[in-house]
């Protein structure tokens, strides 16, 4: 399993565990207060009942504050966060186990014994299912819950308590086995789902990447252009397109062969991609020997500066082929607009394509600028 997968699994497990155990933070308090009236314990020993309820509530509030901070700790201090969750959750099990043990050794609470034992079984089974993400915690919680009960039964040993102690041992053995099965199943499903998501993401990236040049393809450009045009229209911001075409590429293929032509395309793509400086800028292969750079929040002056860098980058390439070196040039068209509701992707592409045609007609190896007015983009 890769390091990234392990790290993602650990953080996901901790946050999922926190979400699961948080739902029962005050359950012990509510169950204790519901059972306390049995046998008149509430009326005979109200101080003890309320002191125990207060302790359980304080523990629940402390755990609530810890869980509130957990997402931040999981990213900055994962080991500390993990220990905090384990200790606070096990402390909750220990608090209930001590209360249940109290009903075994303290005569005034004897009437609560059966109901407390039933509640302890419910808490133990619920904890096993809830905490099986973290098998260490599942076992620690169960031992903290059942341990005091078993010790109290052995302290007041008789036939009934001996049977109870034996049941506690069997119960812990069951939890050990069940938590292992649920732990393995949870992480097996998580790992398969994560790998499926990674494969789907990789396929999506592959579908948007040109296989030859490894830059975004026409589909990716179309998607980004539609999004960026809508954003520019909404924000009343500039949007620029730069279209690049390698000069005399058909002759180059005829003279040097298609494999060398492919190498030229790969080298050109990297040179063009290196000429843009912002993460939002996109250089995509438009088709054949044509590339398009999409430059959000860029006016005409900024787009022309990028185009000049690209022109120089391509002209500066010298690609070896057998016994001689081949130097490339390109023609570049530039179009920038602050779009309104009438501006469309098609008209914007027509504008930059017309600018590219002007660069070719002007002698190639140069940059030409298309009509920048929005009105020009409205005309057919």
Work out the average pLDDT over 6-16. 63
User: Residue 357: what pLDDT?
Assistant: 94
Work out the average pLDDT over 58-72. 86
Work out the average pLDDT over 237-256. 93
Q: Are 119 and 30 in contact (CB under 8 A)?
A: no
What percent of the chain has pLDDT above 70?
94
| 374: number of Cβ within 10 Å | 14
Work out the average pLDDT over 96-108. 93
- Tens digit of each residue's pLDDT (9 = 90 or more) over 156-208: 989 999 999 999 999 888 888 888 888 888 888 888 888 888 788 778 777 88
Banded pLDDT at 8 (limits 50, 70, 90): very low
| 325: number of Cβ within 10 Å | 10
In angstroms, the CA 53 to CA 232 distance is 60
88 contacts: CB under 8 Å, gap ≥ 6:
59, 62, 63, 66
Work out the average pLDDT over 2-18. 59
In angstroms, the CA 94 to CA 280 distance is 54
Banded pLDDT at 3 (limits 50, 70, 90): very low
In angstroms, the CA 83 to CA 243 distance is 57
| 378: number of Cβ within 10 Å | 12
User: Residue 47: what pLDDT?
Assistant: 94
The number of angstroms, rounded, from the C-alpha of 134 to the middle of its chain's C-alpha atoms is 21
Work out the average pLDDT over 299-312. 95
User: Residue 175: what pLDDT?
Assistant: 84
- Joined together, the tokens standing for residue 354 give 């017309």
User: Residue 18: what pLDDT?
Assistant: 80
In angstroms, the CA 292 to CA 295 distance is 10
In angstroms, the CA 380 to CA 378 distance is 7
In angstroms, the CA 359 to CA 367 distance is 6
Q: What φ, ψ does residue 336 adopt, rounded to 5°?
A: -135, 145
Question: Which residue is listed with tokens 């058909």?
Answer: 250
- Angle value at C-alpha 372, between 370 and 373, nearest 5 degrees: 135
Which among 330, 332, 323, 380 is positioned nearest to 356, based on CA atoms? 332
In angstroms, the CA 221 to CA 272 distance is 15
Work out the average pLDDT over 281-307. 95
- Joined together, the tokens standing for residue 138 give 């599942």
| Helix (H) or strand (E) run with residue 104 in it | helix 78-105
Question: Which residue is listed with tokens 């789907």?
Answer: 200
CA dihedral 101, 105, 107, 112 (to 10 degrees): 20
- Tens digit of each residue's pLDDT (9 = 90 or more) over 121-166: 999 888 878 888 888 888 889 999 999 999 999 999 899 999 999 9
In three-state secondary structure terms, 209 is strand
- Tens digit of each residue's pLDDT (9 = 90 or more) over 307-361: 999 999 999 998 988 778 889 999 999 999 999 888 899 999 999 999 999 999 9
Which strand ranges, in their side-by-side order, compose the sheet holding 239-246?
Answer: 282-287, 290-296, 239-246, 330-337, 367-369
In angstroms, the CA 227 to CA 350 distance is 18
Record the pTM: 0.56
Pairing of strands 239-246, 324-327: unpaired
Q: Mean pLDDT of all residues in the chain? A: 87
The strand ranges marked E within the chain are 239-246, 282-287, 290-296, 318-321, 324-327, 330-337, 367-369
């Amino acid at each position: 399993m890769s390091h990234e997968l392990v790290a993602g699994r650990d953080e996901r497990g901790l946050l999922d565990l926190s979400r699961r155990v948080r739902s029962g933070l005050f359950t012990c308090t509510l169950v204790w207060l519901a059972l306390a009236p049995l046998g008149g314990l509430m009326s005979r020993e109200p101080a003890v009942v309320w002191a125990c309820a207060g302790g359980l509530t304080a523990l629940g509030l402390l755990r609530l504050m810890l869980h509130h901070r957990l997402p931040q700790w999981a990213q900055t201090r994962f080991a500390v966060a993990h220990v905090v969750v384990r200790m606070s959750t096990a402390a909750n099990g220990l608090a209930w186990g001590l209360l249940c043990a109290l009903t075994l050794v303290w005569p005034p609470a004897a009437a609560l014994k059966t109901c407390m034992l039933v509640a302890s079984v419910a808490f133990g089974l619920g904890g096993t299912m809830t905490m099986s993400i973290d098998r260490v915690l599942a076992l620690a919680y169960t031992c903290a819950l059942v341990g005091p009960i078993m010790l109290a039964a052995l302290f007041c040993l008789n036939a009934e308590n001996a049977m109870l102690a034996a049941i506690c041992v069997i119960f812990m053995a069951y939890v050990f086995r069940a938590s292992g099965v649920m732990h393995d199943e949870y992480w097996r499903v998580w790992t398969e789902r994560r790998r499926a998501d990674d494969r789907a993401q990789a396929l999506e990236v592959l579908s948007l990447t040109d296989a030859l040049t490894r830059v975004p393809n026409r589909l990716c450009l179309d998607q980004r252009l539609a999004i960026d045009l809508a954003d520019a229209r909404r924000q009343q911001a500039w949007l620029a397109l730069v279209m690049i075409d390698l000069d005399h590429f058909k002759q180059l293929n005829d003279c040097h062969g298609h494999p060398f032509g492919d190498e030229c395309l790969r080298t050109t793509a990297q040179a063009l991609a290196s000429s843009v400086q912002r993460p939002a800028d996109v250089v995509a292969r438009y088709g054949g020997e044509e590339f398009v750079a999409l430059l959000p929040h860029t006016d005409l002056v900024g787009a022309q500066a990028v185009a000049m860098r690209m022109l120089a980058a391509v002209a500066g390439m010298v690609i070896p082929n057998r016994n001689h070196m081949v130097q490339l040039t390109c023609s570049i068209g530039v179009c920038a607009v602050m779009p309104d509701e009438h501006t469309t992707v098609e008209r914007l592409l027509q504008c930059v394509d017309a600018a590219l045609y002007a660069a070719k007609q002007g002698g190639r190896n140069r940059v030409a600028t298309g009509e920048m007015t929005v009105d020009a983009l409205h005309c057919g």
